[in-house]
Amino acid sequence: MNRYYTKVRKIIEMIKEPMLAVLTALLISSFIISHTRIPTESMMHTIYPGDHLIVNRIPYYYRNPERGEIAVFTYEEDHLIKRVIGLPGDIIDIINNEVYVNGKAMDESRYLDETTKTYLYSGSVIDFPYKVPSGYYFMMGDNRINSKDSRVFGPIPRTAIIAKAGFRIFPLQRIGVVE
């Protein structure tokens, strides 16, 4: 019987450290930071298809998303990544292909080029001007002509917003902070 316990003890000693490493990695990726690969063109020219990002879950544990941030959220079992345009209580409008927040044209020159136009979608579930309900956020992709976003499916509940875009790790020539 003593031999059996010695073998079991050796097996436990052998797998203990790898199991702790795996458990630690799972905890970190579930609650602190995680990796994501961008599948679509909806955030071009900020983020491209095939880019690999490290996203940070920590900021949204203690604060709400801010206008202009790029956030990861859950929508219909998918994780999407878009820019925060409207906060709870904001009135969003699209006039002459420009975004207006609370009656003022939004300055998006930091992340959109001068040729980017914001269009209305005919299949939208919302009408403009649109008041963002309490506890919800209005999200849009930077590639406005090719982005399924809040213009189509409406606002995103705060509880669905899970991480802030942080750092691009691939491709190597574009490594850096994502803004």
Residues 89, 144: one domain? Answer: yes
Domain limits for position 10:
1-31
Residues 93, 24: one domain? Answer: no
Residue 94 is classified by DSSP as E
Residues 120, 169: one domain? Answer: yes
Q: Given pLDDT bands bounded at 50, 70 and 90, which one contains residue 1?
A: low
6-42 pLDDT, tens digit each: 877 777 778 878 777 777 667 666 667 787 888 888 9
Enumerate the H helices of the chain as residue ranges: 2-31, 59-62, 150-153
Number of domains in the chain: 2
Residue 78 CB coordination number (10 Å): 8
Residues 26, 54: one domain? Answer: no
137-155 pLDDT, tens digit each: 999 999 998 889 999 999 9
Residue 22 CB coordination number (10 Å): 11
What number of CA atoms fall less than 13 Å from residue 125's CA on the CB side? 9
pTM of the model: 0.85
Residues 43, 26: one domain? Answer: no
Residues 63, 26: one domain? Answer: no
Statement: residue 176 has pLDDT above 90: no
Q: Given pLDDT bands bounded at 50, 70 and 90, which one contains residue 69?
A: very high
Statement: residue 73 has pLDDT above 90: yes
Residues 103, 19: one domain? Answer: no
Residues 51, 138: one domain? Answer: yes
Residues 13, 94: one domain? Answer: no
As annotated, the active-site residues are 42, 82
Q: What is the pLDDT of residue 27?
A: 64
